[in-house]
Structure 1
């Protein structure tokens, strides 16, 4: 991001050069001809999956296939009420498609807002155009932070340096001269120029890479990985269970084949946690829509989850703690320089740069009088150098080479001017040094033996919401690390004003150890780091990750791209360079660092709630597997029909899980999703299955009426419902009015089924006598008490 001596990004284009450009680019007629021939950069830029991919992903799933086959079987053997689970799957799939299409619409509209518009020169006039309207042969202008959107050949170069690390892995910038090739996907780190488009559309290098690796799901999602692992194991369990149930019901129990098939389907369907995948997709999709309303573009859906797991956030001062704009508050001439003369030199330096950054724009605003001075050469700013330069020729014949940059980089240690700089930095002010160079600008040692001429003091504007944002991260136990190219003392003073812990002890990155382990030690102890180079930013991210930290990196300048790419989650500002927006997973279109807490909170809501409802689904899977095993081993009829378990799943899992998955949740995201879910689901499922089978066995031993199996099934259904409702009541904690109402409504729904004769008949439920129902209630109550003890014991024995 922008630093005082690190003007990585322009805040305004600045005045165009007075002279006409050497190359005029294509004419309007030539552009029209190329469009007619189809020589257009027509690669679709997608922030999400296509509509066809969304429909396919939601319909063509392993478990939809399994449920679909079982549904067709029930349609053949009947009756229809035993196939209710099939309609539930159809409804769930439709909801999933609708929500993801809604999220896609939000993502695509935000992507258009944040889309880069490269400057193309046509008929001699530069103008921004959408990326998709570039044609073969267009002349595209480049400046610091611009990304090469198509392949081409350099036509103009003014100290042009391009970083191709995202394509080649080579971190060192490459100097480009006229005739050199540029590849799409690379970006400018210094200088400027223009290139002619030689390959557009799907022929461009970056487009070919994009087709090989989609941007949609590059971020690792522990949630989705964990659910996939669970579903794989469930699939393996279903096949032997189905075979055992068919043999048990058809051969041992001598059931009619239709009844045997119905009982087998009843045993298999509840093993499938089909709604869990749906709810995960819906939760992610709704999260995207919610964040879209806050001007956050989520370029990869699992990034919502990733940011919620972050425990270290690295940020820069400019653009996050301070606003991008600044003002010149003081000018201090040095070594007897005349202030009027210094003002003219500064004005000439500003006028020589067609793309001034924030600090140079402040100088231009303060000292517009650079008339009569001529720029005969320039040295573009580089994040590694931390200064820029220009060869100026004055109206009175005075000519010389001038440098503008970081005082502590341009001046030797012990220089008297540095004492003033330290004092100004300690007050949080930004200081630049204007110095006259004794060497040519192309001399690698141009910064040696410079003659200091003036200190330019810039005052930055603190973001009004920065302090609250830092406090939020501190409350959430997320460590904030300010990593800046600015002077460490200056950065520390700004961070201290905002209440960042340990900001009073800033670290100069030039003294950081090179070894990763030693660097990680320093990073763990400190919170403010100044004079950080782009390569160091990348190394610092790696050092933090080596300690097991999940790292988020915020940035808006080209100097942040490498670190953004390596971080677990990259967050770019909407006004930042196109290069940073291209590699980031989340783009804050309103450029507000204060939006990050919303993203973190949304991710925590998704993870926390999915963990809750996953316990419900997998409890059902565990007790279904246990019941199948007990039925096969004891050679008794399977106690349920599909309609019974559809009713139980709807009231104790399906409906409440939908509301719980979308509820507010500020619980901090924790790792090991599968372990955390199964540590509760396994004991809960075992207790529920054992208690249900105990009721079933008791009913079989004591009821010998005409419809024995119906009475036994009803008693077992009552026990299983009450235990499942208690599991729901535990999952719903801590209670709020709507959570209590939700649990009560599910209980009322079951009572209505038991009380209404038509529903009794439809669901084949009828409680016989009083002793058996009350015995079922008693067993359920005892199981609930055991469940409470087990729940608390597991929480203490296997903490998250």
Structure 2
């Protein structure tokens, strides 16, 4: 029967159980990293018989072990030792759990009390790489995200898995935990960017790896599932726990995946970029409209002219006409090259200087055209109510043209299908119908102080609306050529 047990310790890489063998003897079974079990074993059990492990036999065992790990197997070894009745395991547990005991003393205890063990054999486990994992890793690289393998497994196992995932790994790109432990912080900072695989690392070393990348100004996402991953998950900018992971890992993380698929993380990055893109498009669309209205009214006041549009008309345009198209932009599908862009700096504002410049220029051009039309109609002797109705319609039509330009701020309108988003197209059609209602339906004429006007004025508004769209696209073209919007 089992008397006691020592849970797996990621630092010392083994677990042990103590069992009652007879009234005089107990037996302790140890399972863990092959290099640990082999180094403490003196005997080998074959067909129930024990023999001393010769140098030649030890070499063959190590070759067998390395052969399995180089093929991607996770290998653990099992050994045992018969001892006199006592509390050896309790002694080991007490020393390992005692924080005041130095690591060197713990290792000494391990070497003294668990030497001359009987080696039983290897257990090789193979967790095949998922079909979509390699594609997901390639997508990460394409998107400017650098995947790094940090594992407690043997470096040969890590190398085999890395090659399956498409890593181009050389010896200089691999660092083991024991090598990392010997390095100073300054030495590690000189080489960390070259390392693609960290093998046989301890929990505190995972946190150190996260920290050195953060100090280099990078945003770090860490995935993990075990208790030993919790410190690094907590320290990372984004901690991601696997759904099958421990509660400790989930508590330390910012996100928990419902499945264990790595590709879910890539999909999340893609969706996040789409959302940020669409938020920027909506803000640009609304700010250009608001800026145009402010400039139009401001220039009229400066020139001591009547208001081109009334407050009620502006409210109708902003709430009834502009809101549905801006909401429709939330359904804008991802842009084709969304995962080919480099990640944005962490401190980059939602509205960059370049976008603010674009908003100003587009708003200024739109206002210039509308104010020019206002002056022309004013000097033509049009009644003020009619001019205001025309300006009200002009503001709305220009915003409808601009919504199609806003669908992609990184490409010109001739490089994509402007009508492919059904919701945007439908919202513009509905908006035009509501604009006609506001101008031609008597009840809304009284409410908004509008009067009907003819095809000539509508033609002028459509022509100048198209002209404004051309000027906007030329502005975008200049910005794109200078890579100001990329």
TM-score by length of 2: 0.76
Residues 383 and 655 from structure 1, CA distance in 2 versus in 1: closer, same or farther, beyond 3 angstroms? same
CA apart distance, 1:426: 0.2
> Equivalents in 1 of 2:361, 2:275: separation in Å?
25
The partner residue of 2:63 within 403, 406, 419 is 419
Secondary structure class of the residue paired with 2:109: coil
Q: How does 1:509-658 map to 2 (within 5 A)?
A: 509-512=177-180, 514-515=183-184, 518-519=187-188, 522-650=191-319, 653-658=322-327
> Equivalents in 2 of 1:562, 1:480: separation in Å?
19
Secondary structure class of the residue paired with 1:434: strand
**Which structure has the higher relative contact order (CA within 8 Å, separation 6+)?**
1
Residues 552 and 570, structure 1, Cα contact 8 Å, conserved in 2: yes
Residues 2 and 17, structure 2, Cα contact 8 Å, conserved in 1: no
CA apart distance, 1:602: 3.1
The partner residue of 2:76 within 432, 457, 462 is 432
Residues 699 and 772, structure 1, Cα contact 8 Å, conserved in 2: no
CA apart distance, 1:732: 2.1
Q: How does 1:107-186 map to 2 (within 5 A)?
A: none
CA apart distance, 1:611: 1.3
Residues 727 and 737 from structure 1, CA distance in 2 versus in 1: closer, same or farther, beyond 3 angstroms? closer
Residues 133 and 165, structure 2, Cα contact 8 Å, conserved in 1: yes
Secondary structure class of the residue paired with 1:479: coil
1:123-176 CA deviation, whole Å, 9 max, x = no partner? xxxxxxxxxxxxxxxxxxxxxxxxxxxxxxxxxxxxxxxxxxxxxxxxxxxxxx
User: 1:300 — aligned with what?
Assistant: none
CA apart distance, 1:592: 4.1
> Equivalents in 2 of 1:780, 1:662: separation in Å?
25
Secondary structure class of the residue paired with 1:580: helix
1:281-321 CA deviation, whole Å, 9 max, x = no partner? xxxxxxxxxxxxxxxxxxxxxxxxxxxxxxxxxxxxxxxxx
User: 1:446 — aligned with what?
Assistant: 109
Q: How does 1:367-378 map to 2 (within 5 A)?
A: 374-375=2-3, 377-378=4-5
> Equivalents in 2 of 1:767, 1:459: separation in Å?
80
TM-score by length of 1: 0.48
The partner residue of 1:687 within 359, 362, 365 is 365
CA apart distance, 1:411: 5.3
Residues 572 and 584, structure 1, Cα contact 8 Å, conserved in 2: yes
Q: How does 1:15-54 map to 2 (within 5 A)?
A: none
Secondary structure class of the residue paired with 1:462: coil
CA apart distance, 1:424: 1.4
CA apart distance, 1:550: 1.8
Secondary structure class of the residue paired with 2:147: strand
> Equivalents in 2 of 1:670, 1:747: separation in Å?
38
The partner residue of 2:150 within 480, 483, 492 is 483
Question: Which structure's residues are more often helix, by fraction?
Answer: 2
Residues 29 and 79, structure 2, Cα contact 8 Å, conserved in 1: yes
> Equivalents in 2 of 1:466, 1:398: separation in Å?
50
1:626-647 CA deviation, whole Å, 9 max, x = no partner? 2343233222222212332233
User: 1:388 — aligned with what?
Assistant: 15
> Equivalents in 2 of 1:576, 1:771: separation in Å?
69
Q: How does 1:491-502 map to 2 (within 5 A)?
A: 491-502=158-169
> Equivalents in 2 of 1:560, 1:660: separation in Å?
40
CA apart distance, 1:485: 0.8
Residues 440 and 452, structure 2, Cα contact 8 Å, conserved in 1: no
The partner residue of 1:508 within 165, 172, 176 is 176
CA apart distance, 1:429: 1.2
Aligned pairs, how many? 424
CA apart distance, 1:752: 5.3
> Equivalents in 2 of 1:400, 1:737: separation in Å?
71
> Equivalents in 2 of 1:579, 1:659: separation in Å?
41
User: 1:792 — aligned with what?
Assistant: 477
User: 1:287 — aligned with what?
Assistant: none
Residues 497 and 740 from structure 1, CA distance in 2 versus in 1: closer, same or farther, beyond 3 angstroms? same
Deviates more, 1:556-565 or 1:712-721: 712-721
> Equivalents in 2 of 1:692, 1:403: separation in Å?
83
User: 1:455 — aligned with what?
Assistant: 121
Residues 483 and 537, structure 1, Cα contact 8 Å, conserved in 2: yes
Residues 670 and 751 from structure 1, CA distance in 2 versus in 1: closer, same or farther, beyond 3 angstroms? farther
Secondary structure class of the residue paired with 2:148: strand
CA apart distance, 1:788: 1.6
Residues 679 and 494 from structure 1, CA distance in 2 versus in 1: closer, same or farther, beyond 3 angstroms? same
Secondary structure class of the residue paired with 1:548: coil
Residues 748 and 595 from structure 1, CA distance in 2 versus in 1: closer, same or farther, beyond 3 angstroms? same
Secondary structure class of the residue paired with 1:674: coil
Residues 405 and 469, structure 2, Cα contact 8 Å, conserved in 1: no
1:304-355 CA deviation, whole Å, 9 max, x = no partner? xxxxxxxxxxxxxxxxxxxxxxxxxxxxxxxxxxxxxxxxxxxxxxxxxxxx
1:215-237 CA deviation, whole Å, 9 max, x = no partner? xxxxxxxxxxxxxxxxxxxxxxx
CA apart distance, 1:701: 2.0
> Equivalents in 2 of 1:770, 1:645: separation in Å?
23
